[in-house]
Amino acid sequence: MSTALVILAAGKGTRMNSEMPKVLHQIANAPMLIHAMQSGAPLSPARTVIVAGHGFDDVKAAVEAHDPDASVVLQAEQKGTAHAVDAARAALADFDGDVIVLFGDTPFVQPETLERMVAARGENAVVVLGFDATDPGKYGRLVMHGDQLESIVEYADATDEQRTITFCNSGVMLADCKTLYALIDEIEANNAQDEYYLTDIVGIARARGLSVSAVACDEAETLGINSRLHLAQAEAVFQTRARIELMEMGVTLQQPETVMLSFDTVIGRDTVIEPNVYFGPGVTVESGAHIRAFSHLEGCHVSRGGVVGPYARLRPGTELAEDVRIGNFVEIKNAVLDEGAKVNHLTYIGDASIGAETNIGAGTITCNYDGVMKHKTTIGRNAFIGSNTMLVAPVTIGDKAMTASGSVITTNVPDDALALARAKQVNKPGLASKMFELLKLKKKKRDKGVE
């Protein structure tokens, strides 16, 4: 049977103290809403419907950037969770299958958990996701009878005996689409908040004689985010989980707690990551690479055997082929470096193509920006770029060519040629001491206020 996701993302999130919609606050460099969408993605949902309200246009833009096929519908007024799910009704009017209701501010529900809910639906009209709480507090309690869920009791309405129950409601539910909306039609706003609660469908389903069950998950999966403190806690949860997964897959993290990962970071086994490395979005590192300390990577690809850092920065569009060496205080942006190329010291390479086995000397800069447009530098195979070379793009350096240290290269260099582009040195005997005396006198007058 096909599955649809309905993700509730209409809340403003007042406790975040932000103009930004709550679900767009980021965990591991992606909005928490995207994490919720990724939770359900392994189920290959036939439909994904996001119910948005506050900051609708911003939420819609974020959703479409991640999944252009997802629908975003407006909940103009927030009148409870059932009212929010009802806002997705039109988008699912012709859908025949199960609907999973998720929350955009609950980003860590695991795909395996949702798969267990789908499996449990075969025998039940409604499946609820619960968790055993370390501190149940004021969570709604799931009252079970065997494997059947009898009711969801809110803390305020619970008896003393029911308050001892530690099996609590996460809010996540699954039901057949037609059944779900038939049950929602019977919900009434009989509460102080005058809202329509999705949890009421359990009692309505039971009254109809329908079977309702609950699936348990780890409490960490149900972490909801309502404040900046919760956001920080969620970031810590994500990072810890992601680091463990990498190490279990054969990646060495020398000091795991100092390595920051993004939601889409991919690192191959036998790669070594030294302390204090930051992975921004869009980074792939192949097996057997070595990322040295205090490096920052974003939107880049490092191939097998590559070495990056320490103190290196790889910016978006960087492609490093196998066995490329990027050393300390080197910045690479929108550039392709072929096999065995080396950029070891104090260099900026931007908008460039570097051939195999080429060596870039210390202090080299590709001068790629003229104040209006970016221009490309192309360097061939086995070239040698002398230290402190300025490559004024657009410019091409041929295979096996060489530039002399301190050169400013403004025209193309043919294959196998040496380019020298620096002023002739002139020495003036005795002028250094005279210059120092003049400068000292000028400083003395300035300090006395005499011009």
d(CA 344, CA 311): 11
Query: Is 345 annotated in the active site?
Result: yes
d(CA 330, CA 340): 16
For residue 7, give Cα distances in angstroms to 4, 88, 263, 264, 343: 10, 9, 19, 21, 47
Nearest Cα residue to 312 out of 337, 241, 287, 288: 337
d(CA 379, CA 398): 6
Rounded to 10°, the helix 32-40/228-248 angle is 50
Give 94-154 as a DSSP string.
Answer: T--SEEEEEETT-TT--HHHHHHHHHHHTT-SEEEEEEE-SS-TTPPEEEEETTEEEEEE-
Chain centroid to CA 288: 23
Nearest Cα residue to 278 out of 13, 28, 26: 28
Our separate counts of H helices and E strands in the chain read 9, 33
d(CA 18, CA 8): 19
d(CA 246, CA 253): 8
What is the 8-class DSSP label of residue 423?
Answer: P
d(CA 168, CA 177): 24
Sheet strands (E) in 196-299: 212-217, 252-253, 266-267, 272-273, 278-279, 284-285, 290-291, 296-297
Angle 266-281-224 from CA coordinates, rounded to 5°: 95
Which residues does 231 contact at the CB level (< 8 Å), separation at least 6? 16, 25, 27, 32, 225
Catalytic one among 66, 230, 345, 375?
Answer: 345
Q: Which residues pair with 335 in a beta bridge?
A: 352
For residue 234, give Cα distances in angstroms to 126, 223, 245, 343: 29, 7, 17, 38
d(CA 276, CA 321): 24
Active site residues: 345
